[in-house]
């Protein structure tokens, strides 16, 4: 596994998936080039150097996980697995995850190469990009990990929230919705009349980033401990000189400071292009994050994971993570699941596809209802598609075939109303937002053979998977 972001970038280069781009401007060009490359399947990791207005070595890494091979690389999975096999490999890994492994403090902490305090603090000395044309400012924190300590229980929370630069020593950390662990923790400090200590890591080893954005780690369980379990060894940390918080020892840049209560000092945050591919939440007043210290490595790399409709751009295979977690949840509640996929092109939450060997009447709808109520996929889902076991849910050509030939819209589509939603839904009206209404409807599509007609359903006019496997072996395909 990787000790830092640099190890991962070197590994990407070794497998032929790194492209270095020199001379780009931090203002829109880096973001636009990332978007252009991301539209090509299996696009390379982009490392920007000699950025306009900045010295060589002050770099930005973008599109870190925009190929299935690099998702596998970052997760510590075999590089050859793709599609549903990639989901299965991650499903098996998290199903068989060992005990939590707490972080260890180390004296070998490259993030301490440089430490700035007082008047030397200048957030603009780093090439934080303005990622999208309508963004309200520069964002140093997109591929970041925000570290806080619960004041009651003492455990460390690590979350991934966006961080906008406003002034030399002032930023904002947008934590939404209020149910997020980070939002709960900062409110605890504010209710006591205190500022909330926080540290922002702006570039770190892949599994720390993955753990920070993982599907709902239970309250009280530190993402450091979970990341250590994923990695198989402890995450290395060092104590921040201002907050005393454990920060990744091999981080690229860390901002230490305090989030002040919103009634004391706030800034206009956003707008910012979000994961669904829209500017849905607009501009909001967000509590100021007063930066008291900056730690950074020589030749620092800002990690860029700007929100995009493609989850592999802004996460470490979030669509694969969600599919693997849902597969495990389905296995715990019903038999016959052959595979789960989340359609990346539809944004990460919108369309899970479940491949199922039907065993009894109502089996397919049961699977869909479990997915609709799951903490993994229930929020912001639009369509849940169930297909038969002969359909590979990661093969969209096969999924479209099932939708086009195994559905009767009058009988195989149901709509659930008043389901769990979120505030970045572009379909919400301004009136609904003002009233705090985020509920949505979900369509369940059973694109599978009717259970009562399974035996008499016309056979598919294609070779069996077993015969095709023999042909591939014979002809070395």
**Angle, CA of 344, 348 and 353, to the nearest 5°:** 65
Of 257, 292, 262, 291, the closest CA to residue 190 belongs to 262
CA distances to 113, 329, 404, 446, 452 from 455, in Å: 69, 29, 20, 18, 8
Percent of the chain with pLDDT over 90: 83
Structure tokens at 41: 């399947």
Q: Which helix (H) or strand (E) holds 94?
A: helix 83-95
User: By the 8 A CB rule, do 118 and 150 touch?
Assistant: no
The CA distance from 20 to 22, in Å, is: 7
Identify the DSSP state of 261: P
Q: Which helix (H) or strand (E) holds 86?
A: helix 83-95
Residues 6+ apart with CB under 8 A from 379: 349, 420, 421, 422
| Average pLDDT score, the chain | 94
Q: Which residues of 441-453 are buried (b: 16+ CB within 10 A; e: fewer)?
A: ebbbbbbbbbbee
Q: Which domains does the chain have, with CATH numbers?
A: 97-309 (2.30.110.10), 317-475 (3.40.1670.10)
Is the Cα torsion angle 43, 327, 441, 414 positive or negative in sign? positive
Band (425; pLDDT cuts 50, 70, 90): confident
**Angle, CA of 62, 94 and 347, to the nearest 5°:** 45
Q: Which pLDDT score is estimated for 111?
A: 98
User: By the 8 A CB rule, do 305 and 64 touch?
Assistant: yes
Helices (H), 232-385: 311-314, 318-333, 363-372
- SS3 (DSSP) at 171: strand
Summarize pLDDT for 200-223 with one digit per residue, the tens: 999 999 999 999 999 768 899 999
User: By the 8 A CB rule, do 362 and 336 touch?
Assistant: no
Summarize pLDDT for 128-186 with one digit per residue, the tens: 999 999 999 999 999 999 999 999 999 999 999 999 999 999 999 999 777 789 999 99
- SS3 (DSSP) at 468: helix
Q: Which pLDDT score is estimated for 128?
A: 98
The CA distance from 340 to 275, in Å, is: 21
User: By the 8 A CB rule, do 46 and 63 touch?
Assistant: yes
133 exposure class (CB count in 10 Å sphere: 0-12, 13-18, 19+): exposed
Q: Average pLDDT in the 246-268 region?
A: 97
366 exposure class (CB count in 10 Å sphere: 0-12, 13-18, 19+): middle
Summarize pLDDT for 62-93 with one digit per residue, the tens: 999 999 999 999 999 999 999 999 999 999 99
Summarize pLDDT for 27-69 with one digit per residue, the tens: 999 999 999 999 888 899 999 999 999 999 999 999 999 999 9
The CA distance from 138 to 277, in Å, is: 18
Sheet holding 45-49, edge to edge: 18-22, 45-49, 59-62, 301-303
Is the Cα torsion angle 356, 360, 365, 369 positive or negative in sign? negative
Q: What are phi and psi of 98, to 5 degrees?
A: -75, -170
Count of beta carbons in the 10 Å neighbourhood of residue 303: 26
The CA distance from 69 to 455, in Å, is: 39
């Amino acid at each position: 596994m990787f000790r830092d972001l640099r190890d991962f970038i070197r590994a990407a280069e070794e497998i032929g998936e790194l492209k270095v781009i020199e001379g780009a401007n931090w203002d829109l060009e880096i973001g636009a080039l990332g978007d252009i490359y991301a539209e090509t399947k299996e696009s390379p990791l982009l490392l920007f150097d000699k950025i306009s207005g900045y010295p060589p070595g002050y770099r930005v890494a973008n599109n870190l996980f925009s190929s299935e091979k690099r998702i596998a690389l970052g997760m510590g999975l075999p590089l050859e697995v793709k599609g549903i096999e990639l989901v299965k490999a991650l499903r098996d890994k998290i199903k068989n995850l060992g005990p939590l492994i707490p972080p260890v403090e180390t004296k070998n902490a490259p993030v301490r190469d440089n430490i700035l305090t007082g008047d030397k603090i200048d957030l603009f000395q780093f090439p934080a990009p303005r990622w999208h044309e309508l963004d309200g400012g520069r964002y140093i924190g997109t591929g970041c990990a925000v570290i806080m300590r619960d004041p009651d229980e003492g455990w460390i929370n690590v979350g991934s929230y966006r961080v906008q630069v406003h002034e030399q020593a002032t930023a904002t950390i947008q934590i939404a919705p209020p149910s997020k662990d980070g939002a709960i923790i900062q409110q605890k400090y504010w209710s006591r009349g205190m500022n909330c200590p926080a540290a922002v890591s702006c570039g770190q080893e892949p599994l720390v980033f993955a753990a920070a954005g993982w599907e709902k780690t239970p309250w009280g369980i530190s993402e450091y401990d979970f990341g250590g379990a994923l990695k198989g060894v402890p995450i290395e940390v060092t104590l921040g000189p201002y907050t005393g918080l454990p920060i990744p020892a091999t981080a690229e840049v860390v901002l230490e400071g305090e989030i002040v209560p919103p009634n004391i000092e706030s800034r206009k945050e956003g707008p910012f292009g979000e994961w669904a591919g829209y500017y849905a939440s607009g501009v909001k007043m967000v509590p100021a994050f007063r930066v008291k210290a900056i730690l950074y490595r020589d030749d620092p790399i800002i990690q860029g994971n700007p929100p995009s409709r493609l989850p592999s751009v802004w996460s470490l295979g979030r669509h694969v993570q969600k599919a693997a977690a849902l597969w495990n949840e389905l296995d715990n509640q019903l038999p016959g699941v052959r595979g789960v996929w989340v359609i990346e092109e539809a944004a990460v939450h919108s369309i899970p596809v479940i491949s199922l060997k039907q065993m009894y009447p109502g089996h397919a709808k049961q699977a869909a209802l479990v997915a609709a109520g799951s903490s993994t996929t229930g929020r912001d889902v639009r369509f849940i598609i169930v297909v038969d076991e002969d359909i590979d849910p990661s093969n969209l050509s096969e999924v479209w075939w099932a939708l086009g030939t195994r559905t009767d819209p009058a009988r195989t589509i149901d709509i659930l109303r008043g389901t769990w939603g979120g505030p970045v839904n572009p379909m919400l009206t301004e009136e609904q937002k003002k009233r705090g209404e985020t509920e949505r409807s979900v369509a369940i599509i059973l694109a599978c053979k009717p259970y009562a007609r399974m035996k008499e359903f016309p056979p598919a006019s294609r070779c069996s998977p077993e015969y095709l496997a023999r042909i591939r072996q014979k002809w070395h395909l």
